[in-house]
Each structure stands twice: as structure tokens, then as C-alpha cells.
Amino acid sequence: MSYHDLSECTLSDSECLAEADRIVAMLGASNVVMKLSDEEYDLISKQRNSVYCSAKQFFWLRDIKDRVL
């Protein structure tokens, strides 16, 4: 998995959440469940109904998207 320096995230909280929602929708539409670990699946499931996305969660979602799509 890629490593992201969390101090370099220049997105606002609302921008992170919007991008995270877009990534979750892409992952859900592509039906990649079989390629995900249990932890990745849990993150995506919880993020579907979330109103916040931390920088760590955001970068993890981006890493998942880059790996499976």
C-alpha cells in the first residue's frame, strides 16, 4: 500500500468528505468486494453514511481505489 504524508493534505474537511463519497460510490458501482480485506470493506461500509472523513481515512480510500480499479 502507498504511503501518504498526512501533513501534506491541502483539502478542506468538506472537500475530503466529497471526494471520499465519490470514491465510495465508484467502489460500490464497480463491485470489487472480493478484492477487499475485511478492514477495507468495513471502512467503505462505515464511510457510506459518514458526515466526516479524516485525512487518514481519505488517503486509505484513495489507496484502495488505486489498487482495485
Instruction: Please tell me the distance from the alpha carbon of residue 54 to that of residue 29, in angstroms, as a whole number.
Output: 23
DSSP 10-44: ---HHHHHHHHHHHHHHHHHHT-GGGS-HHHHHHH
Determine, yes or no, domain membership for 14. Answer: no
Determine, yes or no, domain membership for 3. Answer: no
Determine, yes or no, domain membership for 45. Answer: yes
Determine, yes or no, domain membership for 32. Answer: yes
Cβ atoms of 65 and 28 within 8 Å: the answer is no
Determine, yes or no, domain membership for 43. Answer: yes
Structural domain including 56 reads 19-68
Dig out the grid coordinates for 47 from the structure: 464511510
**Which band of pLDDT confidence, cut at 50, 70 and 90, is reported for residue 4?**
low
CA distance to 4, 30, 36, 58, 63, per residue, from 66 (Å): 13, 13, 12, 12, 5
pLDDT at 6 over 60: no
Work out how many domains the chain is built from and give that number: 1
Residue 50 or 33, more confident: 50
Determine, yes or no, domain membership for 61. Answer: yes
pLDDT digit string, tens, across residues 36-50: 999 999 999 999 989
